[in-house]
Amino acid sequence: MVRQYVPTMNSFSQLQLAPNLAKAVAEMGYESMTPIQAQAIPVVLSGQDVMGAAQTGTGKTAAFSLPLLQRMLKHENSSTSPARHPVRALVLLPTRELADQVAQQVKMYAKYTQLRSAVVFGGMDMKPQTAELKKGVEVLVATPGRLLDHIEAKTAVLNQVEYVVLDEADRMLDIGFLPDLQRILSYLPKQRTTLLFSATFSPEIKRLAASYLQNPVTIEVARPNQTASTVTQLFYNLPDDDKRRALKQIVKQRGISQAFVFVNSKLGCARLARSLERDGLKTTALHGDKSQDERLKALEAFKKGEVDLLVCTDVAARGLDIKDVPAVFNFDIPYNAEDYIHRIGRTGRAGAEGLAVSFASPNDVRLVTDIEKLTKQKIELLGFDFEDDRPAGRINNGRRHWDDEDSSSEKPASRSRFVPPPKVHDPFFDRPYEASAEPVNTAASPEQALSNSRSISPNIKPKRNVAALFKTTEPG
Min dist CB 427 to ligand AMP, Å, is: 16
Cβ nearer to ligand AMP, comparing 96 with 243:
96
Q: Which helix (H) or strand (E) holds 368?
A: helix 365-375
Of 285 and 317, which has the nearer Cβ to ligand AMP? 317
Binder among 24, 33, 273, 357 for ligand AMP (CB under 6 A): 33
Strands 231-237 and 117-120: unpaired
Instruction: Check: CB of residue 55 under 8 Å from CB of residue 222.
Output: yes
Q: Tell me the closest approach of the beta carbon of residue 48 to ligand AMP, in angstroms.
A: 20
Q: What are phi and psi of 227, to 5 degrees?
A: -100, 150
Beta-carbon contacts of 128 under 8 Å, excluding residues fewer than 6 positions away, are: none
Q: In the set 9, 14, 22, 30, which binds ligand AMP (CB under 6 A)?
A: 30
How many helices (H) does the chain have, and how many strands (E)?
17, 16
* Beta carbon of residue 384, minimum distance to ligand AMP (angstroms, whole number): 32
DSSP 214-264: SSPEEEESS-TT---TTEEEEEEE--GGGHHHHHHHHHHHTT---EEEE-S
* Residue closer to ligand AMP (CB basis): 7 or 59: 59
Read off the DSSP letter of residue 32: B
Longest dimension (CA), the chain: 78
Window contacting ligand AMP (CB under 6 A); options: 32-40, 125-133, 165-173, 335-343: 32-40
Instruction: Name residue 465's amino acid.
Output: N
Q: Which stretch binds ligand AMP (CB under 6 A): 29-37, 161-169, 265-273, 359-367?
A: 29-37
C-beta of 166 vs 466, nearer to ligand AMP:
166
Which of 10, 20, 37, 200 touches ligand AMP by CB under 6 A? 37
- CB count, 10 Å around CB of 140? 26
Contact 391, 267 (CB under 8 A): no
Q: How far is the CB of 286 from ligand AMP (least distance, A)?
A: 18
225 and 350 in contact (C-beta within 8 Å)? no
Q: Which is nearer to ligand AMP, 59 or 94 (by Cβ)?
A: 59
Q: Which of residues 23 and 390 has its CB atom nearest to ligand AMP in the complex?
A: 23
- Between CA 335 and CA 341 the distance in angstroms is 12
Closest to ligand AMP by CB, 33 vs 272, is 33
How do beta strands 163-166 and 193-198 pair?
Answer: parallel
Write each residue from 265 to 304 as x if it is in contact with ligand AMP (CB under 6 A), else as -, in one continuous string: ----------------------------------------
Among the listed residues 34, 225, 283, 453, the single contact to ligand AMP using CB under 6 A: 34
Determine the residue type at 356.
Answer: A
H or E segment at 102?
Answer: helix 96-109
User: Considering beta carbons, is residue 56 or 194 the nearer one to ligand AMP?
Assistant: 56
CB of 58 to ligand AMP, least distance (A): 5
Applying the rule CB under 6 A, the residues between 51 and 70 that interact with ligand AMP are: 56-62
- Strands 231-237, 259-262: pairing is unpaired
Pattern of binders to ligand AMP over 322-361, x per CB under 6 A?
A: -x-------------------------xx-----------
Stretch that binds ligand AMP, among 30-38, 225-233, 269-277, 449-457 (CB under 6 A): 30-38
Instruction: Please work out the total of residues on this chain that contact ligand AMP, with binding judged by CB under 6 A.
Output: 15
Residue 143 binds ligand AMP (CB under 6 A): no
Residue 51 to residues 40, 88, 193, 436, Cα–Cα distance (Å): 9, 20, 11, 15
Q: For binding to ligand AMP (CB under 6 A), which residues are involved?
A: 30, 33-34, 37, 56-62, 321, 323, 349-350
